[in-house]
A and B are shown apart, each in its own frame.
Chain A
């Protein structure tokens, strides 16, 4: 298994080595030692490889990921898996703000808690947080599923579009145009699918979650919604 020691080499070398891999490579499993909270680790990956980061990652770890699996054994800084397209990113510890921001696809699993703005502007990504999420999460969330085992902070789903938010714990408050919805069969299927994908289907009961989504009252400019603009 190729190893990269960031105590001895630069982030730039790591990323370039990962970008240089060809589709038929045999070097499909990488280990990164001494990440030391460095930023932009394993960003822009474009192949079905696995990268294990042994420690804490700084900002934007696994940004724009495609196909790869990136595992962070510690905590992750701001914007982990931002704008992910596909693949999987798993953080064993906690994640800072804007986890999974604008993600278009793939799966992000945070085994600890995620801070504010988790899933902000998400565009199709699935996010599972085993702990709780901070305020302003799923702001303007467009598509995808956010599944939270714990609680959600203030203003959840403010100005949300078509994303689905499943929360098992307490929600401190809903943002503009976000409402609780009845969980239909399709929603339930989506939830079960995400849990299965995350390998957590046995851990929780889908019935314990509540669904939040868009009231769609802000979809058209209307004088009566003027407070919300």
Chain B
């Protein structure tokens, strides 16, 4: 064995397993050391079929584009026209998704309200009730009606511009909220009627209804409570989108909100985030199909979310039949989450800018996912609101750019026929042809 010639013979490089990759190994080590599952914020991080797998065809011999600077391309959207006496009118088809005060700081909520209002769109409360910061700064505010009913009260219900009944969310369909002790500050505890500092789990099922027949009666109650004025949304995580959409319509929803598995969360088990639910790309067409089968497409509006980053994502979601999109993670990044300028502080937390997802721990150096007053003070709600408004403007301009190139004078006129897919998977999920072919998997042909 001590043969020296061995040292000089060629050796294979150390090889990491594709199955037991470094992340899997570190997770096994972590689990073995602690005995409890990993909790984190954010959405699915592994690669799943997404809007990047689609392309627009643009104009050609048979399609005429619109002039970029001269010809109007509308972006407005009306939500809640089915039953509500006072539907919501938004200037852009991009809303801010429900994120709780508790998971987010008061300044972050204020900044979301400022940015959204500047661009003529709405924000949404979350699993912690409505705060004055948010009501005060959001011209249009959607009030979430969640299983926990933390802070739920009729005055806030009446102050809201719309009500969103949350059945589930994409990051954790079938899971309730979670807020760990570090973030249960005295104010958060008071708003939720909980002891300070406990690790809080919120319910995953509504306490007073189960199933679509009951939901119909619940929605009737919410309408009676608010004199039939307010649009009522039903939010579901993307799992069985055809049936969920059909049942939401049957239950009397004005708007269906569909959130894909990439959608962010403030805190949940990693295994839940990565392995439950389907990508939004796979969910839109079945949901639209359900609306079309019921004669309700464009009458009951569809808002989709989960991994929306740029105007192309917005345009693709609309082309597949959505009426609007909603953003969570991207809005937080626009406010300043994961900013490379804070790299030294992320390093101290054992992570790096761009990968920071310990939102549940409440130590966010950007002052967004925290309840610590010293950290919150770092986020200037006016400046952060401005950044969000800028970002929303860019999303809108980008979506318009694409719509004009496809010859559309309103972003809602984008259609599946404007799209092709780069992969067979995306072609099957989005039901558009594989680029360069007329093949839609599952729809005949070869």
Chain A positions near chain B (C-beta within 8 angstroms) = 11-12, 15-16, 19, 39-40, 43-44, 46, 58-60, 63-64, 66, 78-79, 82-83, 85, 97-98, 101-102, 104, 117, 120-121, 123-124, 139-140, 142-143, 159, 161-162, 219-221, 223, 226, 229
Interface membership of B209, Cβ < 8 A: yes
Does B221 lie within 8 Å of A40, measured CB to CB?
yes
Report the minimal beta-carbon distance from A228 to chain B, rounded to whole angstroms. Answer: 10
Does A120 lie within 8 Å of B207, measured CB to CB?
yes
Q: Could you say which residues of chain A place their CB within 8 Å of the CB of B158? A: 44
Chain B positions near chain A (C-beta within 8 angstroms) = 34-36, 148-149, 152-154, 157-158, 180-181, 192-195, 198-199, 201, 203, 207-209, 214, 217-218, 220-221, 224-228
A39 to B224, CA, bound (A): 10
- Tell whether A43 pairs with B225 under 8 Å between CB atoms, given A83-B153, A223-B36: yes
Partner of B203, one of A79, A97, A140, A219: A140
Partner of B35, one of A15, A124, A162, A226: A226
Does A39 lie within 8 Å of B221, measured CB to CB?
yes
Q: Could you say which residues of chain B place their CB within 8 Å of the CB of A97? A: 208
Does A102 lie within 8 Å of B207, measured CB to CB?
yes
The majority secondary structure among interface residues of chain A is loop
A64 to B193, CA, bound (A): 17
Query: What residue of chain B has the Cβ atom nearest to residue A65's Cβ?
Result: B154
Does A59 lie within 8 Å of B207, measured CB to CB?
no
Q: Could you say which residues of chain A place their CB within 8 Å of the CB of B152? A: 83, 102, 104
Task: Specify which of B149, B193, B207, B220 lies most central, judged by the most chain A CB atoms within 10 Å of its CB.
Answer: B207
Does A220 lie within 8 Å of B181, measured CB to CB?
yes
- Tell whether A64 pairs with B194 under 8 Å between CB atoms, given A102-B208, A121-B203, A223-B35: no
- Tell whether A60 pairs with B218 under 8 Å between CB atoms, given A40-B224, A78-B209: yes
Q: Could you say which residues of chain A place their CB within 8 Å of the CB of B153? A: 64, 83, 85, 104
- Tell whether A16 pairs with B227 under 8 Å between CB atoms, given A63-B221, A101-B208, A104-B193: yes
Report the minimal beta-carbon distance from A42 to chain B, rounded to whole angstroms. Answer: 9
Partner of A101, one of B157, B180, B207: B207
Q: Could you say which residues of chain A place their CB within 8 Å of the CB of B209? A: 78-79
Query: What residue of chain A has the Cβ atom nearest to residue B202's Cβ?
Result: A140
Does A223 lie within 8 Å of B34, measured CB to CB?
yes
Report the minimal beta-carbon distance from B123 to chain A, rounded to whole angstroms. Answer: 23
20 example contacts (A-B, Cβ-Cβ < 8 A) are as follows: A15-B227, A19-B227, A39-B220, A40-B217, A40-B221, A43-B224, A44-B154, A44-B224, A58-B217, A78-B217, A82-B207, A82-B208, A97-B208, A101-B149, A101-B207, A117-B208, A120-B207, A142-B194, A223-B35, A226-B36
